[in-house]
Amino acid sequence: MSKTEAVRLAVRKTYKLYIGGAFPRSESGRSYAVTSSKGDFLANASKASRKDARDAVSAARKAFPGWSGATAYNRGQILYRIAEMLEGRRAQFVAELTEAGAKKAGDAVDAAVDRLVWYAGWSDKITSVAGAANPVAGPYFNISTPEPTGVVAVVAPADPLLGLVSVVAPVIVTGNTCVVVASERAPLPSITLAEVLATSDLPGGVVNVLTGSVKEIAPWLAAHMDVNAVDLTGVADDDLAVACEQAAAENLKRVLRPSAPDWSADPGLKRMTAFLETKTVWHPTGF
């Protein structure tokens, strides 16, 4: 009998994309090596293709009627559930963020959970705050309510968890669905977050996560005719951002391009209202 005990080899995770509630590999079969801040190999992430981006948009479009038609209370409950599931995986995220080079990874996870809770509470309040009863000069009932814009393409910022949560939560809490291009350098937490989303009763297709080259994927999404809005927060290259804005003009997408957001600051309403449409309904009064 040998004296040496076999060291158990860890079972590594395959990081794939998240589209329509499933975790497919890139249809292109491509991947890219993700390294730690020190340059050590961490994993091979899927390198999404144009076809993956299009599949993600159609999944988001398919999910839109159900998600936008859900009650605000229901959407709030699901966002809160995401916060619960994220809290439960705190250790895993701390480890992943630390590997990606985060200094205070624990604080970042806590802040991400708190941000989800904050946005969860907005689901059934934003309409009261952003809507209006309008006193028109005539015998009419007139009311304005905010409604989700539709499918939003989001280029997530470099901050791999708090930044990601801070751009996704305000988009979906109001009933939009989205396709997110994760941080190119640190994409692994985004796929782990997708596992959180997949177990939070969030319907498949509401959030779709692509990893890969921002320069490659963002222009396709900005030009896609079934995308209603783009959030260019994570596009660092100015020329690329302008090219995306120009492409977005083709079907008059709503474009959000903030300057250097501070993820620890009070988010305000801007990220929600940027992807809301105001609908005004008139009806005569009388008997």
Residue 226 binding another protein, by CB under 8 A: no
Residues 96 and 192: beta-carbon distance below 8 Å: yes
**Out of 5, 40, 238, 266, which residue is the one contacting another protein (CB under 8 A)?**
238
Residues touching another protein, count (CB under 8 A): 34
Residues 240 and 221: beta-carbon distance below 8 Å: no
Q: Which of 245, 197, 236, 192 is nearest to 213 (CA)?
A: 236
207 vs 235, which CB is nearer to another protein?
235
279 DSSP assignment: E
SS (H, E, C) 203-247: CCCCEEEECCCHHHHHHHHHHCCCCCEEECCCCCCHHHHHHHHHH
**Out of 30, 121, 254, 261, which residue is the one contacting another protein (CB under 8 A)?**
254
Residue 287's CB is within 10 A of a number of other CB atoms, namely 2
125 vs 283, which CB is nearer to another protein?
283
Instruction: Report d(CA 98, CA 87) in Å as an integer.
Output: 17
Residues paired with 102 in a beta bridge: none
Strand residues in the chain grouped as ranges (E): 31-35, 41-46, 132-133, 140-148, 151-155, 177-181, 207-210, 229-231, 254-256, 276-284
Q: Which two tokens stand for residue 33?
A: 């090596």
| Residue 245 CB, nearest approach to another protein (Å) | 4
Task: Report the run of H or E that residue 62 belongs to, with start and end.
Answer: helix 50-69
Residue 5 binding another protein, by CB under 8 A: no
125 vs 270, which CB is nearer to another protein?
270
Residues 34 and 44: beta-carbon distance below 8 Å: yes
Instruction: Report d(CA 14, CA 44) in Å as an integer.
Output: 8
Residue 287 binding another protein, by CB under 8 A: no
39 vs 135, which CB is nearer to another protein?
135
51 vs 283, which CB is nearer to another protein?
283
Residue 280 binding another protein, by CB under 8 A: yes
| Residue 281 CB, nearest approach to another protein (Å) | 5
Q: Choose one: 105-113, 137-145, 178-186, 189-197; the region binding another protein (CB under 8 A).
A: 137-145
Contact characters 97-136, another protein, x per CB under 8 A: --------------------------------x--x-xxx
| Residue 283 CB, nearest approach to another protein (Å) | 4
Binding to another protein in span 43-82, by CB under 8 A = 69
Binding to another protein in span 153-192, by CB under 8 A = none
Binding site for another protein (CB under 8 A): 69, 129, 132, 134-138, 140, 142, 144, 149-150, 228, 238, 241-242, 245-246, 248-252, 254, 270, 277-284
